[in-house]
Amino acid sequence: MVAAIECQALTRSFRTRSRQGPREVLALAGLDLSVGPGTLFGVLGPNGAGKTTLVRILTTLLLPTSGHARVAGFDVVDHPNRVRASVGFTFGGDRGLYGRLTGRENLLYAGALHGVHGRDARRRAAELLDVVGLRESASRRVETYSRGMRQRLHLARALMHRPPLLLLDEPTTGLDPKAAREVRQLVKRIQSTGATILLTTHLMPEAEELCDALAVLARGRLLAAGRPSELKQRSSQPTVIEVEVETSPVGRDAVAAIRALDHVVAVEVLDEGQRQRVRVHSSGGSGPLLDVLRRLELHGLRTVNVREPTLEDAYLALVHG
Amino acid sequence: MFDAARLFVTVGWYSYKALFIWLTPIGYVMSKVAVPLLQITVFALLARSLGLEPGQRVIGNAVQSAALNGVFGTMMALHGERNFHTLAFLIASPANRLVTFGGRILAHVVDGMIVVLLGLTFGVIVFGLDLSHANRVGTPLAFAVTVTAISGLGLLLGSAALVTRDILLLGNVAYWTLVALCGVNLPVDQLPEPLRMVAQVLPLTRGLQAVRLLLAGGSLAQAAPLLAGELLVGAAYYAAAYVAFQAIERVAARRATLELD
Amino acid sequence: MASWLRAGLWATRAQLRQATVSAGTFAGVAIAPLSILIIGAFMLPGSPAGMARGVFGSTLVGMWSTVFLAASLDISRERTQETLPLIISAPVPTAVVLIGKILGNALVSFAAVAVVFTVAVLAGLFPLVVDAPLLVSGLVLFAVSSATVGLLVSVAYVVTRAATGLGNALEMGVWVLCGLLYPVSILPGPVEALARALPMTWSARVVYAAVQGAEDGERAGTPVALSLALAAATTLAAILLYRLAERRWRAAAEPHD
């Protein structure tokens, strides 16, 4: 099976001018990445990580300095037209649309540029306008659209020619929570049709909610890749099991017994008036939970909370060390 | 009085510097040098191709092209204040309005005179214009009076530029009306009566006649009535501009429309 | 091929919409031709040549100025509004889109024709036209020629910043060079040679041939053919320059993220 996206030693440098003179900026430094078909793949990273550079190379808007990038088996440098026919993309934001054209006309124009014409184009545009919730506004000029509406139109435009691969560069940036949620729901619907989606974001909850697999980039390099649950294990933060007990006090023996359990890093007992809260830090996830509960059940268990390390914890550990 | 004069010059210099500073050297050369010279060339050659003498057209277009500064320059200075949102600071200041707004035209008058000089020099070199009999005292005075009068028109249009976005329309209407009607390319009395009447209330009409008279060797005394008429017209535009500014300021304060986006 | 034609027509349609400016801005552009109409008509009262220069010269000036307004900043505008990636990344050849833009801008220029002709007719200044079909052909050729040069200017603006500084001087330069208001034979030798290399010069000749008869007994077909050939060459130059620009953008774009 041909990978949807394959990058081998992909490198891209830019020459920038600064007060100290011209200097070379390495936006991508030998990136190796593979994305299977039908995956919703997230690329995480701070500003300057190389996310947008990667997307621009995959859309043929930017040439790599060295290395290779292939989309559906076609090299982005040697076969740009084949790649262009296979990719739909959005860069998001307020720009990138013709303000003087209506929403529908923007779609039809994009369709025309990708070989989708006539009745098929009109049908496809109507279908997509429905999907993105812009049917009522389709005949209005885009310059009257809100930011959220423009973002949804961007998505619809990217889909006009039914591309097998969709590249979304920070699709919810600048959107209010409601608009952002609508976009995420749309992305999930699109994925359910079998498309491969590569999405760049620096919003952890979004990455966790949407992505089957993730890559973390920083300073043009791949730091880690895998499923969200795998990446969370990279977190330096332990799992925290917190148990509130009815009757106090929790004796030293109980605390010592819990501390002796496998993977327990630390135990804290917090006094809260009539009750006590026992906080157990575990390096083995929620593995020790049942043993902890057994050692505390004589005190009467009131509430139990397990706080797993988040993707944000893992990301921070990876990116900032 | 001295303070007012100092304010006049200060405002003029800073306004010019702040709002013209964005022009690149090449942009400056193109708009202040190339465009007037091209305009002179077009109409001089048009005249020549019809068997008419190009010299008068060279003089006419050279003097008229000072309207680039007098009209557009002045107008853009005020529009620029609006765009950069500095108008509020200006209006909220206690400085005399007549002086602060009038100070704006000073730099454009000086600039405009340089453009006229360049145009005439071009006319001498390329079209063999003979200026050997020019009245050396009267001619610069006539330039200054004419360009100042044109700037009065620019100031009036500038007040409109505070509240409208169609400044290209305003500027172009003023500029090209001057080109067509004020004796720049054809004698005013060759125009139909309605257009002749418009010419009489525009700046440049009398000033240009005075310039032509003085360049041909006429005396200042001969040109004086024309220059007086030109000054009067300019003063009228200046006064109208002042009244317009006051009115717009009041309306804008009431309706909070001063810095529309 | 049909697919390209449709894509090109869509590009024309998008361009027409993009180029549609406010009435105020258009009026600002139309005022210069009207001024020239007055000058030409009354500079030499009773002269058919003067009348022709006034009416058709001002029309041609208006057409070129309208195209210049619509076209010169076109590629820059696509860049700043970030619609250029759509064009670059489309499988349809960019040349198709660029030709579509040329057609759109050529159509826009006819707004100037409408304005000047209307005023001239109402003022009783419209001269007798010798060859109406030739006049229409000449105006169409001029519209297309202007649009090809407009596109070349537009691409030049994004390739080199120096071109942007030329601005209004470029616009008026065409008035001087291309025989819009007088025959190019009165220009000095080297300047005349430059004028003859521009497609608008030949299409302007077609317009005046329709009104005043052909210059120096030349056949009407000659300026038509030259105008078409030079317009095609200008289009090719614009496309090649655009490809060069695109290659440079893809190789040296500013860092992102």
Query: In terms of DSSP bridges, do strands A239-245 and A275-282 run parallel, antiparallel, or are they unpaired?
Result: antiparallel
Q: Which pair of structure tokens corresponds to residue C40?
A: 């030409």
Q: Do C92 and A114 touch (CB under 8 A)?
A: yes
Per DSSP, the three-state class of A219 is: coil
Residue A134, number of CB atoms within 10 A of its CB: 21
C27-49 tens-digit pLDDT: 777 889 999 999 998 988 888 88
Number of domains in chain C: 1
Amino acid at position B91, single letter:
I
CA B62 to chain centre: 12
Tokens of A261: 């359990």
Provide the token pair at C108: 């826009």
Residues of C in contact with A99 (CB under 8 A): 81
Per the domain annotation, does C178 fall within a domain?
Answer: yes
Q: Which of B134, B144, B151 is nearest to B207 (CA)?
A: B144
Interval C7-24 mean pLDDT: 82
Among the listed residues A101, A91, A175, the one whose alpha carbon sits nearest the alpha carbon of residue A142: A101
C-alpha–C-alpha distance, residues A315 and A198, integer Å: 18
Top pLDDT among B165 and C235 is at C235
- Chains touching C (at least 3 CB pairs under 8 A) are A, B
Q: Does B39 touch chain C (CB under 8 A)?
A: yes
- Other CB atoms within a 10 A radius of the CB of residue A310 amount to 16
With contact defined as 3+ CB pairs under 8 Å, the chains touching B are C
DSSP class of residue A2?
A: -
Threshold 0.95, pTM exceeds: no
So what's the pLDDT on residue B222? 95
Cβ pair C166:B26 closer than 8 A: yes
**Which residues in chain A have their CB less than 8 angstroms from residue C9's CB?**
112
Q: Under an 8 A CB cutoff, do A113 and C6 touch?
A: no
Q: Is residue C257 part of a domain?
A: no
C161 lies within 8 A of chain A by CB: no
Q: Are strands A5-18 and A165-169 parallel, antiparallel or unpaired?
A: unpaired
Q: For C202-221, give the secondary structure using H, E and C.
A: HHHHHHHHHHHCCHHHCCCH
Domain that holds residue C241: 2-252
Chain B residue closest in CA terms to C50:
B50
Collapsing DSSP to helix, strand or coil, C201 comes out as: helix
| More confident of the two residues C103 and C80 | C103
**CB-based contact C38 B39, cutoff 8 Å:** no
Does the beta carbon of B194 lie under 8 angstroms from any beta carbon of chain C?
A: no
Averaged pLDDT for residues B120-146: 94
pLDDT for res A271: 79
Distance CA(B99)–CA(B106), nearest Å, equals 11
Using CA atoms, how far apart are residues A104 and A142, in angstroms rounded to an integer?
A: 9
pLDDT tens digits, residue range B176-234?
999 999 999 999 999 999 999 999 999 999 999 999 999 999 999 999 999 999 999 99
User: Hey, is the C-beta of C45 within 8 angstroms of any chain B C-beta?
Assistant: yes
Among C138, C142, C137, which residue's Cα sits nearest to residue C174? Answer: C142
Q: What is the DSSP letter of A102?
A: B
Contact residues on chain C for A56, CB-CB shorter than 8 A = 253, 256
Q: Is residue C159 part of a domain?
A: yes
Contact C36, C61 (CB under 8 A): yes
Spatial contact of C134 and C206, defined as CB atoms under 8 Å apart:
yes
Half-sphere exposure in the Cβ direction for B38 (13 Å, CA) = 20
Is A190 within 8 Å of A166 (Cβ atoms)?
yes
User: Each residue of A210-269: pLDDT tens digit?
Assistant: 899 999 998 889 988 888 888 877 666 678 888 998 876 888 888 899 989 988 888 888
Q: Which of A113, A117, A151, A201 to mutate to test the interface with C (most CBs of C within 10 A)?
A: A113
CB within 8 Å: A56 and C3: no
Q: For residue B92, is pLDDT > 70?
A: no
DSSP symbol at A65: S
Question: Residue C257 — pLDDT band, cuts 50, 70, 90?
Answer: very low
Query: Is residue C145 over pLDDT 60?
Result: yes
B71 closest CA partner among B41, B30, B112: B112
A59 touches chain C (CB under 8 A): yes
Residues (pLDDT < 70) of chain A are 17-18, 92, 234-237, 248, 320-321
In our burial notation (b when 16+ CB lie closer than 10 A, e otherwise), range A26-47 reads bbbbebebbbeeebbbbbbbee
Q: What is the H or E stretch that residue A71 is in?
A: strand A66-71
What's the token pair of residue A263? 């993977």
pLDDT of residue A168: 93
Could you tell me if A96 lies within 8 Å of chain C, comparing CB atoms?
A: yes
Average pLDDT across chain A, whole number: 87
From A56, A60, A84, residue closest to C256, measured CB to CB: A56
- The torsion defined by the Cα of C235, C240, C243 and C244, in degrees rounded to 10, comes to -140
Taking CA–CA distances from C21, the nearest residue in chain A reads A100
- CA-wise closest residue to C195 among C206, C183, C207, C210: C183
pLDDT for position B260: 43
Chain A CB contacts of C250 below 8 Å: 60-63
Q: For residue range B46-87, what is the model confidence (pLDDT) as tens digits?
A: 999 999 999 999 999 999 998 877 788 877 777 766 666 666
Structure ipTM: 0.90
CA closest to A27 among chain C residues: C255
Give the closest-approach CA distance of C242 to chain A in angstroms. 14
User: CA C57 to CA A116: how far, in whole Å?
Assistant: 44
Q: Do the domain assignments include residue C174?
A: yes
Query: B with A: 3 or more CB pairs under 8 Å?
Result: no
